[in-house]
Amino acid sequence: MLKGNLTCEDISRLILPYIDDKLTEQKRNRVALHLRNCPFCMEKYRIIKSLFDKIKQKNIQRAKKFQQYKLLSAYCDKEVTENTKHNIEASLALSCELTQRAIKINSLRKLLNTTFEKQFEGLELNLEKTIIQRLKEEKLSYKIKKFFNFPSR
Amino acid sequence: MKYDNKKSNLDELIELAQKGDLVALEEVIKRQQKTVFATLYYLNAKPDEIMDLTQEILFKVAKNIKKLKNPRTFKSWLNQIIINQFYDTLRKKQKSVKKVCLDNQEENKVNFEIPDFASNPYQKVLDKELEHAIKNSIYKLPDPFKAAIIMRELQGLSYEEIAQATNSNIGTVKSRIARARLKLQEYLRPYIS
């Protein structure tokens, strides 16, 4: 159907850039005109748009949740400013969910720290003498090389 | 000798080492070797290469310690060396042609086990399982997350020190540590109460 100088097939192609607001003003107006006059395309637009809105909303929520988690994680490491620390502590007092998340971060930290400690506590490497010896040998070999190269100018 | 090496703090020892004091340098190496080894272990260095890599890194530290401008940035500097050396070796290995060993491979296989000193055998098994789970979970993380979480949890570096070591800003470090923690929480769910 040709409405607003665009066919329904054109609309199928333009509907995503239209929702993403990636069309020129002129093209956007022509798509809008077609949608106003074509119930079939309008219905299609509504379904896709509501799906996109849901995804967008979910992404915003996810990003917000991550921002909150990031702050909480930095708070557990004592890497936040005094002001942020007070704000987080106030939120922790009010939200059970947030407190649970903080507890989980601390449990993970404890788990990693104790495992790391246990894993290497009996390990004896004794590399220091070898390293110093190697350093001395290299210095000596450098001096010898320098000595023998020096006269051959 | 007017100072006691064993009691001196790291900054003092580094300053002395920078002035050419080999006894102080030896003490610095002694204190840092386990950190280097453990970091490489969790970065997943090959068991038969981990000792050589540790030695190479410590030798670089000993050789270049005079070039370090501020002793307080030692930990970041050390980690820069660890990361560069580790990924350099990895890159070189990927470039080199794979050699096929015609000898019995089982015989040449180097068995690598870190000594386990837990006394209770049941606890020993549990610890081992948990350690494997942690190592595998860290291995699954993307490289920048892996390095950040190792520096934080294994070495206890501050966000600023991690930022310096990885040539990034504190915001990025914050994100990487948080993302690593989210992933580790997911992978290690059965072990986190």
Q: What is the pLDDT of residues A24-33, one digit of tens each?
A: 999 999 999 9
Domain of B184, CATH number, reads: 1.10.10.10
How far is A97 from B62, CA to CA, in rounded Å? 49
A72: left (phi over 0), alpha (psi -120 to 50) or beta: alpha
Q: Name chain A contacts of B38, Cβ cutoff 8 Å.
A: 116, 119-120
* B96 and B133 share one domain: no
* B5 and B66 share one domain: yes
Q: Which residues contact A43 (CB under 8 A, 6 or more apart)?
A: none
Nearest by CB to A111, which of B22, B62, B192?
A: B192
Domain of B43, CATH number, reads: 1.10.1740.10
Q: Which of A69, A121, A127, A129 to mutate to test the interface with B (most CBs of B within 10 A)?
A: A127
* B61 and B82 share one domain: yes
pLDDT tens digits along B63-86 = 999 999 998 999 999 999 999 999
Q: Mean pLDDT check: name the lowest of A50-59, A119-128, B176-185.
A: A119-128
Residue B114 has pLDDT above 70, yes or no: no
Higher pLDDT, residue A70 or B123: A70
How many domains are contained in chain B? 2
Model pLDDT, residue B118: 52
How far is A36 from A46, CA to CA, in rounded Å? 12
Confidence band (pLDDT; 50, 70, 90) for A139? Answer: confident
Residue range of the domain that includes B39: 1-113
What's the pTM value of the predicted model, to 2 decimals?
0.79
Confidence band (pLDDT; 50, 70, 90) for A4? Answer: low
Model pLDDT, residue B28: 94
Interface A:B, Cβ pairs < 8 A: 108
Confidence band (pLDDT; 50, 70, 90) for A67? Answer: very high
How far is B126 from B114, CA to CA, in rounded Å? 15
3-state secondary structure string across chain B: CCCCCCCCCHHHHHHHHHCCCHHHHHHHHHHHHHHHHHHHHHCCCCCCCHHHHHHHHHHHHHHHHHHCCCHHHHHHHHHHHHHHHHHHHHHHHHHCCCCCCCCCHHHHCCCCCCCCCCCCHHHHHHHHHHHHHHHHHHHHCCHHHHHHHHHHHHCCCCHHHHHHHCCCCHHHHHHHHHHHHHHHHHHCHHHCC
